[in-house]
Amino acid sequence: MASTTLRHQVYCELDPAAREHRGLSLTNKLLVVLIILASAQAIVETEPTIVAGREELFRSTELMFGLIFSVEYLARLWIAPENPYCSKQRYPRLSYVFTPSALIDLAAILPTLLSMGMTGALFLRFFRVLRIFRLAKLGRMSSAWSDLAAALHSRRYELMLTVMLAGVAILVSSTMLYLAEGGVQPDKFGSIPRSFWWSVVTLTTVGYGDAFPVTALGKVFAGVVAIMGIGLIAIPSGILASAFSETLQRRRQRELERDKKTN
Amino acid sequence: MASTTLRHQVYCELDPAAREHRGLSLTNKLLVVLIILASAQAIVETEPTIVAGREELFRSTELMFGLIFSVEYLARLWIAPENPYCSKQRYPRLSYVFTPSALIDLAAILPTLLSMGMTGALFLRFFRVLRIFRLAKLGRMSSAWSDLAAALHSRRYELMLTVMLAGVAILVSSTMLYLAEGGVQPDKFGSIPRSFWWSVVTLTTVGYGDAFPVTALGKVFAGVVAIMGIGLIAIPSGILASAFSETLQRRRQRELERDKKTN
Amino acid sequence: MASTTLRHQVYCELDPAAREHRGLSLTNKLLVVLIILASAQAIVETEPTIVAGREELFRSTELMFGLIFSVEYLARLWIAPENPYCSKQRYPRLSYVFTPSALIDLAAILPTLLSMGMTGALFLRFFRVLRIFRLAKLGRMSSAWSDLAAALHSRRYELMLTVMLAGVAILVSSTMLYLAEGGVQPDKFGSIPRSFWWSVVTLTTVGYGDAFPVTALGKVFAGVVAIMGIGLIAIPSGILASAFSETLQRRRQRELERDKKTN
Amino acid sequence: MASTTLRHQVYCELDPAAREHRGLSLTNKLLVVLIILASAQAIVETEPTIVAGREELFRSTELMFGLIFSVEYLARLWIAPENPYCSKQRYPRLSYVFTPSALIDLAAILPTLLSMGMTGALFLRFFRVLRIFRLAKLGRMSSAWSDLAAALHSRRYELMLTVMLAGVAILVSSTMLYLAEGGVQPDKFGSIPRSFWWSVVTLTTVGYGDAFPVTALGKVFAGVVAIMGIGLIAIPSGILASAFSETLQRRRQRELERDKKTN
């Protein structure tokens, strides 16, 4: 069956999971470049000083990206039955339409399709930025995510606990500052939820300077909170960094051993 | 004796330490949810823009939480003699009343009891927030605290020393800035205690921007302090993070070995 | 010789190095408390709102501390020949006078002695704050300093290199911001030395907000500097924290082994 | 051949790679001092308040440095054929002229040569600051760079991934804040590229305070971004610090083993 063979060829070209070799096919490499370009365009397009006077240029490139991604979407829909997961379903193409990847792809072409008819749908174009997440499924990034997930999983207990400790630290410090500064700065510390903003900004050491204590008691509380709490916020990232580094080194060792066996 | 048996059953239901299985009993799970809801209500209640126009709703839910926690308090008081620690005392119930858990529980119901008679005791409701600490004794959090305590204990010497070094860093930097900027910005650096605020905000890298040196000498001093002192403040959290991670890994290994022996 | 024996007894009481047992003698414990009190007084004394109306109280406590520390100074001068280091010198007491400890002690009593005659020497009282450094030589702090010194020494090469890298980062970022923002904000970025302040405040992530780029180019430069440079500044404290922790664990192991041998 | 011998002697004196002993020759040590002085002068010269009234002094020292470095440049050009790399090329001196070191050296003397004829070339003097990078090739710094490069190389995969994650974090947080605050603060969050500045300043925890969310939704988004994202930015520097420390310890061990073999 020529049609099936062609479909299978297209499938091998479009789906990284179907390839024997590591790396991406030429079509997918091209698509990665196009997704990056389209994302960059979607980002730049939000800046009025750049768009001003170049509306036509932006509209036509935008239309071009929309058409290319529509063709890609239809192609992927066509090859869905080749996919081992979708082919097991009753309606392979329908089940493909509702996979997260396909939904992101659809969100990326929808704005172009809608804006062809009307002009008010411009804000929908923002969905194109979402498409950058598709990059996450391609090539090297893919193993990065699984490594990060493994690191998160291996330390999930530590991370959960430290996140809970951080939550308690935010709650306690907000309450303290609400009691100390609530009367003097009602717009910033007038309630515990309002004080949350100060707590987060202080415990993460961002310290914008839009909210800070002015009374002596508030400063003493804030000083204690800053010194005690910073450790709490720093612990999760320390744990995560060591777990991530460990996961990657283990993987490298595994790859080295596999290479030895092959030779 | 039926009464004792009922009391023992209630005891097994309410005290996590009395259970054979891991995890919480149904009643305690429900109480955890109620404590979280009551704490959330106490937090939200401090925000006037949310309360405005819903005073009745807040008062009734507040009364409801007060009643439920009062019943719980009386129930825990009733079962106190079942508790191995309290039963050894001369007056088991009186000794229970003065345990930290019971005091927190009492603080959480007092505002409701008092506000039923008069209206001026509203501010007491804040004590309900304290009840969130009761959560700390239940379920998973419990082992988290003991792990954190173990981590703190195993590195208590390092932590004590680095906290002392941090104290010296704050004192020295405050004195330096007081000498350099005291004359120019008397409200911020006019005395060593006033300079403490700047020191803490700088050495923790929060940097609100409400106090900073303006003279050349003050900036040189502050720059040296920032570069030298940040390490000092970062050391304790680095030590704590590694100790915490170590403690948890040791525990996991112990659990794995125990599981092996069981099988 | 009764005099020598008494002197030796006083020496054993005052010099921690002469004691057989660990810990401080009663006299030294009392002196530690007095130094802390005198330092606290010297710190608090700089705050005019606290001193106002209590001038007499502060003057008399100040005089009392001065007298006690003068007696201590003379006592230490008297016992100097008992000290193994000083006794080897030609003039033991003169050589003691020029040890750093004795100079700090002298600096701490000078302001009181001078202010007894005249009133303009009040500012000298600040030297009393210096005395807090004497604490560093007593008790536990003493081993803390040697551990920290050992940690610094074991990683001196890494630390030196990363400090040099941090210096290069500050220089390069200052030059970049001087070129980008020098014309727009001449008071903050008008010269490379002026940009140093911004560099230090940014690379240490303090970020007061008194100096930041406003042009697009300046923001791009600053963003790159912030992301690249923060790692450089964070590396030394990471290295130091692990070295410090290592040094202390080695010492604990040594102590454990020594205890085993003794038993 | 007297000329060649002299040239070889000069070569041994000027090129650190030609020396048998570790460390720098006397001439190179002097040149290091001169480069530091000339760099310091170039830095200080940008500060008008220091230069004012001392124009002649700065011009003459500047001329002196220019002459010395010109002589050095010509000397290095003369000895280029002694260099094993350049001597293999067809035109040894021409190939030397285009090495990065020689280009930096030329950039450092060009401003002096040009400003002798005209006065408008003053701004070129800035290139002298570049010369400080020549220091990087001399002495201890040289091995520092190779150690840092080794550390970067050994963890290049981890670093690349975390930098990508940081990029995604910046992009996602900018888009979130653009959506939440774009309408309220158009000058700061009016487009995704404008929000980048806020993202970088927040995720690096610098937090100048020139851009921060003011709406409730924006604050919630920013709080989540701050807590989640800070870990991402902190991971690379944690990885780099441990890799750098590891590389240096390995080298120290190697040196120790080599010393053992020699003895």
Does residue B231 belong to the interface with chain D, where contact is any CB pair within 8 Å? Answer: no
d(CA D21, CA D61): 33
Residue numbers in C near B209 (CB within 8 A): 207-210
Q: Would you state the structure tokens that stand for residue A139, as one six-digit string? A: 């090539």
pLDDT computed for residue D212 by the predictor = 93
| Residues in Cβ contact with B242 at an 8 Å cutoff, skipping those fewer than 6 apart | A238, A242, C242, C245
The pLDDT of residue B237 is above 60: yes
Q: Which residue has the higher pLDDT, D225 or B228?
A: D225
Residue A10 domain-assigned (yes or no): yes
Distance from CA of D43 to the nearest CA of B (A): 16
pLDDT computed for residue D185 by the predictor = 93
**D191, A46: Cβ pair inside 8 Å?**
yes
Average pLDDT of B52-64? 86
* Nearest chain C residue to D237, by CA: C231
φ/ψ (deg, to 5) at A95: -65, -30
Residue with tokens 């070094």, as numbered in its chain: B165
**C244, B179: Cβ pair inside 8 Å?**
no
Q: Which of D164, D209, D223 sits opposite A141 (nearest CB)?
A: D164
Does residue D166 belong to the interface with chain C, where contact is any CB pair within 8 Å? Answer: yes
**B209, D209: Cβ pair inside 8 Å?**
yes
| Residues in Cβ contact with A59 at an 8 Å cutoff, skipping those fewer than 6 apart | none
Nearest to B28 by CA among B137, B174, B158: B137
Residue D146 domain-assigned (yes or no): no
Residue numbers in D near B206 (CB within 8 A): 207
Average pLDDT of B221-232? 81
Nearest to B251 by CA among B148, B181, B129: B148
Q: Are D201 and C207 in contact (CB under 8 A)?
A: yes
The pLDDT of residue C234 is above 80: no
Same domain, C26 and C131: yes
Residue numbers in A near C207 (CB within 8 A): 206-207
Same domain, A106 and A12: yes
**C231, D244: Cβ pair inside 8 Å?**
no
Residue with tokens 């040009």, as numbered in its chain: D114
Residue numbers in B near C240 (CB within 8 A): 231, 235
Q: Are B96 and B80 in contact (CB under 8 A)?
A: yes
Residue D236 maps to which CATH number? 1.10.287.70
pLDDT digits (tens, 9 = 90+) for B115-173: 665 444 445 555 656 666 656 555 555 666 777 788 888 878 777 777 777 888 888 89
Q: Which of D144, D196, D244 sits opposite C164 (nearest CB)?
A: D144
Residue B63 maps to which CATH number? 1.20.120
Same domain, D133 and D163: no
Same domain, A113 and A47: yes
Does residue D44 belong to the interface with chain C, where contact is any CB pair within 8 Å? Answer: yes
Q: Which chains touch D (3 or more CB pairs under 8 A)?
A: A, B, C
Angle in degrees, CA B209, B215, B221, rounded to 5: 80
Q: End of a domain among A83, A105, A137?
A: A137
Average pLDDT of C142-153? 75
Does residue B245 belong to the interface with chain A, where contact is any CB pair within 8 Å? Answer: yes
Query: What pLDDT tens digit does each residue of chain A (263 aa) get?
Result: 445 678 888 888 887 776 666 667 888 888 888 888 887 887 888 888 888 888 888 888 888 888 888 898 899 888 888 877 777 888 888 888 888 778 878 877 777 776 665 444 445 555 656 656 656 555 555 666 777 788 888 878 777 777 777 888 888 899 889 888 988 999 999 888 999 999 999 988 888 999 999 999 999 999 988 887 776 776 777 777 777 777 777 777 877 787 777 66
Q: Where residue D199 falls among pLDDT bands split at 50, 70, 90?
A: very high
Domain with D194, as residue range(s), is 153-262
Residue A148 domain-assigned (yes or no): no
Distance from CA of B206 to the nearest CA of D (A): 8
Average pLDDT of D1-22? 72
A residues 46-105 lying closer than 8 A (beta carbon) to C:
none
Residue D145 domain-assigned (yes or no): no
d(CA C113, CA C130): 16
Q: Where residue C133 falls among pLDDT bands split at 50, 70, 90?
A: low
* Nearest chain B residue to C162, by CA: B227
The pLDDT of residue D120 is above 60: no
* Nearest chain C residue to B209, by CA: C208
Nearest to D157 by CA among D233, D240, D221, D216: D240
| Residues in Cβ contact with C91 at an 8 Å cutoff, skipping those fewer than 6 apart | none
Helix (H, G, I), strand (E, B) or coil at B22: coil
d(CA D172, CA B176): 42
pLDDT computed for residue B88 by the predictor = 80
Nearest to A205 by CA among B202, B164, D174: B202
Same domain, C34 and C72: yes
d(CA C182, CA C63): 54
Same domain, D203 and D245: yes
d(CA D236, CA A247): 15
- Distances, alpha carbon C230 to alpha carbons A57, C172, D147, in Å: 39, 14, 19
Does residue D241 belong to the interface with chain B, where contact is any CB pair within 8 Å? Answer: no
Mutate to test the interface with B, among A155, A161, A199 (most CBs of B within 10 A): A161
| Residues in Cβ contact with D234 at an 8 Å cutoff, skipping those fewer than 6 apart | A234, A237, A238, A241, C234
pLDDT computed for residue D164 by the predictor = 78
pLDDT computed for residue C219 by the predictor = 94
Neighbours of D196 (CB within 10 A): 20
Handedness of CA A75, A79, A85, A88 (dihedral sign): positive
Least confident range of A126-130, B6-10, D120-124, D248-252: D120-124
**A175, B144: Cβ pair inside 8 Å?**
no
* Nearest chain B residue to A192, by CA: B43
d(CA A82, CA A88): 10
Q: Which of A191, A209, A222 sits opposite B47 (nearest CB)?
A: A191
Same domain, A92 and A161: no
**B208, D205: Cβ pair inside 8 Å?**
no
Neighbours of A139 (CB within 10 A): 16
**C238, D234: Cβ pair inside 8 Å?**
no
pLDDT computed for residue C218 by the predictor = 93
B residues 105-134 lying closer than 8 A (beta carbon) to A:
126, 129, 132
Residue numbers in B near D208 (CB within 8 A): 209
Q: Are B232 and B200 in contact (CB under 8 A)?
A: no
| Residues in Cβ contact with A14 at an 8 Å cutoff, skipping those fewer than 6 apart | A25, A27, A28, A72, A75, A76, A79
Distance from CA of B167 to the nearest CA of C (A): 11
Give the distance from CA B247 to its chain's centroid.
21
Burial class (CB in 10 A: 0-12, 13-18, 19+), D91: exposed
d(CA C109, CA C63): 10
**D207, A201: Cβ pair inside 8 Å?**
yes
* Nearest chain B residue to C199, by CA: B223
Q: Is C118 left (phi over 0), alpha (psi -120 to 50) or beta?
A: beta
pLDDT computed for residue B220 by the predictor = 93
Helix axes D100-117, D55-79, angle to 10 degrees: 140
Residue D165 domain-assigned (yes or no): yes
Least confident range of A99-108, C67-76, D186-195: A99-108
Residue numbers in B near D209 (CB within 8 A): 208-209
* Nearest chain C residue to D233, by CA: C227
Q: Which chains touch B (3 or more CB pairs under 8 A)?
A: A, C, D
Residue numbers in C near A205 (CB within 8 A): 205
Nearest to D195 by CA among D214, D210, D173, D217: D173
* Nearest chain B residue to C144, by CA: B161
Q: Is D15 left (phi over 0), alpha (psi -120 to 50) or beta?
A: beta
Does residue D208 belong to the interface with chain B, where contact is any CB pair within 8 Å? Answer: yes
Burial class (CB in 10 A: 0-12, 13-18, 19+), A141: middle
Handedness of CA B214, B218, B223, B226 (dihedral sign): negative
**C244, B235: Cβ pair inside 8 Å?**
yes
* Nearest chain D residue to C202, by CA: D206
What value does the mean pLDDT of chain D take? 79
Q: What is the DSSP string of A208-252?
A: -SSS---SHHHHHHHHHHHHHHHHHHHHHHHHHHHHHHHHHHHHH
Mutate to test the interface with D, among A148, A206, A245, A256 (most CBs of D within 10 A): A206
SS3 string, A111-130, reads: HHHHHHHCCHHHHHHHHHHH
Mutate to test the interface with B, among C201, C235, C254 (most CBs of B within 10 A): C201
pLDDT digits (tens, 9 = 90+) for D59-112: 888 888 888 988 988 998 888 888 877 778 888 888 888 887 788 788 777 777
Residue numbers in C near B202 (CB within 8 A): 206
Q: Where residue D200 falls among pLDDT bands split at 50, 70, 90?
A: very high
**B157, C248: Cβ pair inside 8 Å?**
yes
DSSP A66: H
Q: Would you state the structure tokens that stand for residue D238, as one six-digit string? A: 């944690």
Residue B145 domain-assigned (yes or no): no
Q: Where residue C204 falls among pLDDT bands split at 50, 70, 90?
A: confident
Same domain, A82 and A116: yes
| Residues in Cβ contact with D243 at an 8 Å cutoff, skipping those fewer than 6 apart | D151, D152, D154, D155
Nearest to B205 by CA among D230, C184, A184: D230
- Distances, alpha carbon A187 to alpha carbons A170, B42, D99, D180, in Å: 18, 19, 62, 20
Q: End of a domain among A76, A104, A137?
A: A137
> SS3 helix, strand, coil % of chain C, rounded to 5?
85, 0, 15
Give the distance from CA D260 to its chain's centroid.
36
**C209, A209: Cβ pair inside 8 Å?**
yes
Q: Which of A205, A208, A209 sits opposite C205 (nearest CB)?
A: A205
Residue A45 domain-assigned (yes or no): yes
Same domain, D43 and D127: yes
Residue D77 domain-assigned (yes or no): yes
Q: Where residue B49 falls among pLDDT bands split at 50, 70, 90?
A: confident
Does residue D223 belong to the interface with chain B, where contact is any CB pair within 8 Å? Answer: no
Same domain, D33 and D107: yes
pLDDT digits (tens, 9 = 90+) for C158-186: 777 777 778 888 888 998 898 889 889 99
Nearest to D195 by CA among D216, D224, D169: D169
Q: End of a domain among C137, C164, C179?
A: C137
**A208, C209: Cβ pair inside 8 Å?**
yes
Same domain, A127 and A219: no
Distance from CA of C95 to the nearest CA of B (A): 28
Average pLDDT of C105-123? 63
Mutate to test the interface with D, among A32, A39, A43 (most CBs of D within 10 A): A43
Same domain, C178 and C234: yes
Handedness of CA D39, D43, D48, D49 (dihedral sign): negative
Structural domain count, chain D: 2
pTM: 0.83
d(CA C86, CA C95): 6
